[in-house]
Structure 1
Amino acid sequence: MKILYAAGPGNVIETFKYWKKGEDDPSQVAITYSRQFFDVCATLNATGYVITSNPEKKIFKDDNFTIENRPLYLSKQSGILYYIGQVLYELNFVLSVLWFRADLVVGNLTSCFFVLSLLPLLGIPVIPTLHCVLWPKYAEISKAKRTLWRLNRRFFSKDCLAILSISEDVNEQVDAITNHQSRPLVNFLPLYHRSEFADITLPSQSRSPFHVLFAGRIEGDKGVFDLLEVARRFQAEGRDDIVFHLCGIGTQFDLLQEQVKEAGLEALFVLHGYCKKSEMQQMYNLSHVVIVPTRSNFIEGLNKVVVEGILANRPVITSSVCPALAYVREAVVEVPPDDFQAYGDAILKLQCDRPFYEQKQQSCQSLQEPFYSDSHSWGKALMSILEKSQANGLLLKSVR
């Protein structure tokens, strides 16, 4: 059996090298989806071809696997040129599928799914993976996007074999574009080893200072400037017992750093930059809460930071922009999207109301098991689709 996997921009080649040694990629906290793909191929004794959108163009071959980094076309363009690049990229991808003589295609690389409808016409089943919502949950959909999703409707309602989906929010949007007539939707969750969080201690009983942790890219649509507004509010109120820690890099890092300095908040709004896994464990040990203030104009996925905060036994503050909320609501303080006043109020509530904090913190443990269980993983979800399809005679090659 030959399976072609369309991955994202990650460093799948390095992940494979660790997998070959029987190890997980040490740069990642969650077990990567590409590693799970390699496991599925090993189980099926299948030959795998992975095409990633990693910008470093490269081809790597080893035994039954070929991994190709194929940068997206016209990815820095906007408007019609951007979509022309996506269509051309998908057409080239289809040619690669035919050249490889794939029996199955898993995953996807752009939002132009309608191009992939060519493959089922040629007898090649496709199982897309939806890691993010299809459009921002609370934003108005542009005419161009509406046209795109009308074009994609047939793929999701008739042409694909099944759909791997990261959340119920994604399911609802697929239902919306297919008028509730989509192909089977199969949900999955990110998968973790317990050992990744074993050395993280319970939060300190001391509330002064109260440490608030943000982990992610330093971008406006990730809500980092909203956090700065919260810090300015606390400064104006004379509070110096709440410290924000931001771990990550991004295009707005320098601007944010400049504004922090102008506000005189360097001691209370600390930009740590990129943090290695061991450094992130230290930050979790220091923190009392995790905050995920993603703005409503962002196309959000499950957001693993929400999950990892729960696995670290830290209450999380976020909004319904993050689909992960549905899985961990009991340990989350939910606020309205884009409302930095509400984010500040939530921080104060967790700092000052100890019973409320303890209730949220204790809820973390009861929510962790699904993220440690392989039965909810992407790999298991994929195998369940293949086994069911084989039983129904929809796959030509044997699935054992």
Structure 2
Amino acid sequence: MAQNAIYYAAVAGDIRGTYLCWRDGRRDERQLAATYSGQFFDLCKRLRRRGVASFPTHETVLINDDSFEIRSRPHHTAFTGVWFHLAQLRNAWRLWLDVWRSGASDVIVMDGVTSFYLLAPLAISGRKVFLSIHTVLWRKNEKQNSRKRLLDRFNGWFFRNYCAGCLVASPTIESQLRSLSHDKIPIKMFNPLYRHEDFERFNPPTIGAKPFRILYIGRIEADKGIWDLLTAAKNLIANGYSVRVDFCGDGSELKRLTERIVSSDLESAAFTHGHLNRPELSNYLEQAQVIVVPTRSSFPEGLNQVVIEAVLAKRPVITSNVCPALQLVASAALEAESDNAASYERCIQQLIEDPKFASELVAAGSTVRDQFFDVSLAWTEQAFRLMQC
């Protein structure tokens, strides 16, 4: 039993690896932003409380020392229909048992672990249940069916009656949450946290250099907009523009994308690179003249950190209002129409033809960058404040 412990349920990531880095005073080098699990360890240290953290994995993991316990949960399996809801109940049951065994008095659960309303038994048993929500609760302009409306009612019931507070990653999520909760719970918004030194190497791009280099970073999936970007690049080339697009990331459509590039005779202008480590990715970021984040409206987007990292690296970024991150960097971004390859094509063309405008976007980034280096706006500080409410 870990009396007065804080339990943290993550939805993904290698928390074991992050903890070993944190314990040894080393940074987890696998991503640019500070990991949320690492910030949870910072929170426990600040509160002088023991931490218990769990994450889904196929492996059996257990680390138990004087300050923290790191343990594995069974890996999630994707289901649809009634099987999805049964899987959510199964995930909730496993979480209930794990929390009860830990003896934790406060519980922080990331969205995606299980349906929110299924966390009510933890609150009824006397624990404070906090949520860390990183993804929109519903897609922009989504037409909700009766099943989704019923789920929202259940979640609203949980928010109003049993949720001790929420951490949210964007203004969009905050607005949706206030609607469901009838503004009855404390909410704190957090920003991803970065280090100045990681971006000191970047100078503004030379917009007039040819070919004009376009960079995509993310999952290689249809609903992430890869086909819209490829179509935009193909049309730009057909219209006489010299462009190159680099796709960095893994996904189920990677092989098909590579094949489509060949069949479209774009081998000299479009390239796939798979998953890259941080130094390699930084090199592509430095070479890029624009970053494009073309997520489609069919995808419930979270706070896409690529949008923010593009601005921190002094690169123009093109995305749509499907990405909540746009709200945080609007003055330094070019907004395209979602699900519209022609709109992305026009935005890229505008940057190519108007280098002065592209430079103004980069300069505008100076007004928004500092918030992402500010520890007082990051997850640890906001979680600390929320738990004092």
Instruction: Settle same-fold status: TM greater than 0.5.
Output: yes
Residue type matched to 1:170 in 2?
I
Q: What corresponds to 1:163 in structure 2?
A: 166
Q: Which moved more, 1:43-52 or 1:325-334?
A: 43-52
User: Aligned pair in 2 of structure 1 residues 197, 55: CA closer, same or farther (>3 Å)?
Assistant: farther
Structure 1 counterpart of 2:259, one-letter code:
E
1:116 and 2:127 are equivalent in the alignment: no
Q: Superposition pairs for residues 334-349 of structure 1, below 5 Å?
A: 334-349=335-350
1:146 is aligned to 2:149? yes
| Structure 1 residues 157-208: Cα deviation after superposition (integer angstroms, max 9, x where no partner) | 2211111111111112213323x33311110010001111122232125332
SS of the residue 1:162 aligns to:
strand
Deviation at 1:72, TM superposition (A): 4.0
Give TM-score scaled by structure 2 length.
Answer: 0.96
Matching residue within 80, 85, 88 for 2:87: 85
Task: Letter of the 2:149 partner, please give it.
Answer: R
1:52 Cα deviation from its structure 2 partner: 1.0
Residue 230 (structure 2) pairs with residue 250 (structure 1): no
Amino acid in structure 1 at the alignment position of 2:55: T
Paired residues of 1:223 and 1:295 also in contact (CA < 8 A): yes
Q: Report the Cα distance in structure 1 between the residues aligned to 2:212 and 2:260, rounded to whole angstroms.
A: 22
Structure 2 counterpart of 1:309:
310
Most deviating of 95-104 and 301-310: 95-104
- Residue 301 of structure 1 aligns with an amino acid whose one-letter code is G
Quote the Cα distance in structure 2 between the aligned partners of 1:71 and 1:170. Answer: 28
* Equivalence map 1:54-93=2 (5 Å): 54-73=57-76, 75-93=77-95
Task: Compute the displacement of 1:143 (Å).
Answer: 2.8
Q: 1:45 aligns with which of 43, 48, 57?
A: 48
How many residue pairs match? The answer is 385
Distance 1:238 1:200 in 2: 29
SS of equivalent residue, structure 2 residue 273: strand
Q: Is it true that 1:294 corresponds to 2:295 in the alignment?
A: yes
Q: Check the 8 A contact 1:317/1:346 in 2, yes or no.
A: yes
Kindly indicate whether the alpha-carbon contact (under 8 Å) linking 1:207 and 1:351 is maintained by their aligned counterparts in 2.
no
| SS of residue matched to 2:272 | strand
Tell me how far apart the structure 1 counterparts of residues 61 and 223 of structure 2 sit (CA, whole Å): 31
Displacement of 1:386 after TM fit?
1.9
Q: Secondary structure at the match of 1:128?
A: strand
Give the match for residue 391 of structure 1: none
- Please, which of 221, 226, 229 is the counterpart of residue 219 of structure 1? 221
| Counterpart Cα distance in 2 of 1:9 and 1:57 | 15
Deviates most, 61-70 or 79-88 = 61-70
The equivalent residue for 2:270 is 269
- The answer for the alignment partner of 1:285 in structure 2 is 286
CA distance in structure 1 between the aligned counterparts of 2:75 and 2:144, rounded to whole angstroms: 24
Partner of 1:393: none
**Which aligned pairs between 1:13-32 and structure 2 lie closer than 5 A?**
13-32=16-35
Displacement of 1:282 in angstroms is 0.7
Q: CA deviation at 1:91?
A: 1.7
Q: 3-state DSSP class of the match of 1:14?
A: helix
Residue type at the aligned position of 1:356: F
Alignment partners' CA distance in 1, 2:66 and 2:248: 38
Q: Give the drift of 1:8.
A: 1.8
1:373 is aligned with what amino acid?
D
| Residue deviations 1:217-256 (CA, integer Å, cap 9, x gap) | 10001100111111221232233x1111111111100011
Tell me, yes or no, if the aligned pair for 2:312 and 2:369 is still in contact at 8 Å. Answer: yes
Distance 1:143 1:354, change over 3 A: same
The equivalent residue for 2:356 is 355
Q: Return the offset for 1:61.
A: 2.4
Contact 1:87–1:115 (Cα < 8 Å) also in 2: yes
Give, in whole Å, the separation in 2 of the partners of 1:6 and 1:137.
27
- Cα offset for 1:69? 2.1
Letter in 2 for 1:236: A
